[in-house]
Amino acid sequence: MSDAVSVLGGAAFSGAIEVADAGLCGMVTLRGDLSDPKLAAAVKSAVGLTMPAARGIKEGTKGAVAWMSPDELLLMVPHETADACVARLDKALAGSHFLAVNVSDARAVFTLTGAGCREVLAKGAPVDLSAAGLPIGEIRRTRLGQIAVAFWAGSETEMRVICFRSVGAHVYSWLCNAAQKGTLPGFL
């Protein structure tokens, strides 16, 4: 069996902001009735966090949980624990109508660092990227240059971007191009 590797093996770019392959991240898609207390208890057990509000993301020491749609969450855990997380969810939710799948190796994650993160993403995402339009603690599923992505601000100077692994190299190139020195207009 081969060793898992991130989409770009830790590539990093320094321009108006820093763009970096975030490395391996365990990701579990969990679909079900988000109002079910049994599902909420399973999420709390898996990542130590309560359910996020609509479009919310919560991050903690054991991982993160993001609201992706009215019946879908994304749990983020250490890569090596994703299969065990799915097994725990399967056991905790037995008898319920749900789906838990390890999607870690189908995704790429990038970290954007610097004061212009929002402006870089605004070049290609049709959403309000101001602090009021995308506050810290909210995740957005959208398009970036016509590619499906999700992103959130971890702080005023750091954002995370998730995309399908198959387009990871293209998204990275797009981000690096959008982050060239001297290209940020200073609107956000």
pTM: 0.94
Residues 146-188: pLDDT tens digits?
Answer: 999 999 999 999 999 999 999 999 999 999 999 999 999 888 8
pLDDT band for position 3 (cuts 50, 70, 90)? confident
Domain assignment present for 6: no
* 19, 51: one domain: no
Which residue range(s) make up the domain with 100?
26-105
Q: Please, which residues have CB within 8 angstroms of residue 103's CB and are 6 or more apart in sequence?
A: 27, 28, 29
Q: Identify which of 111, 105, 107, 104 has the alpha carbon closest to the alpha carbon of residue 175.
A: 111
| 183 domain residue, yes or no | no
For residue 39, give the 3-state DSSP assignment: helix
Q: What is the pLDDT of residue 1?
A: 46
Judge if 113 and 101 occupy the same domain.
no
- Kindly tell me if the per-residue pLDDT of 2 is higher than 70: no
Q: What is the CATH number of the domain that holds 167?
A: 3.30.1360.120
Report the candidate in 105, 109, 67 with the shortest Cα–Cα distance to residue 86: 105
Within-domain flag for 48: yes
DSSP-assigned states of every residue in 12-29: EEESSSEEEE----EEEE
Q: What HEC string does 123-147 produce? A: CCCCCCCCCCCCCCCEEEEEEECCE
Residue with tokens 């081969």: 2
Sign of CA dihedral 75, 10, 107, 174: positive
The pLDDT, as a whole number, for residue 78 is 96
Same domain, 97 and 122: no
Instruction: Return d(Cα 118, Cα 123) in angstroms, integer.
Output: 9
**Tens digits of residue pLDDT in 9-63:** 899 999 999 999 999 999 999 999 999 999 999 999 999 999 999 999 999 999 9
At 93-138, the pLDDT tens digits run 999 999 999 999 999 999 999 999 999 999 999 999 999 999 999 9
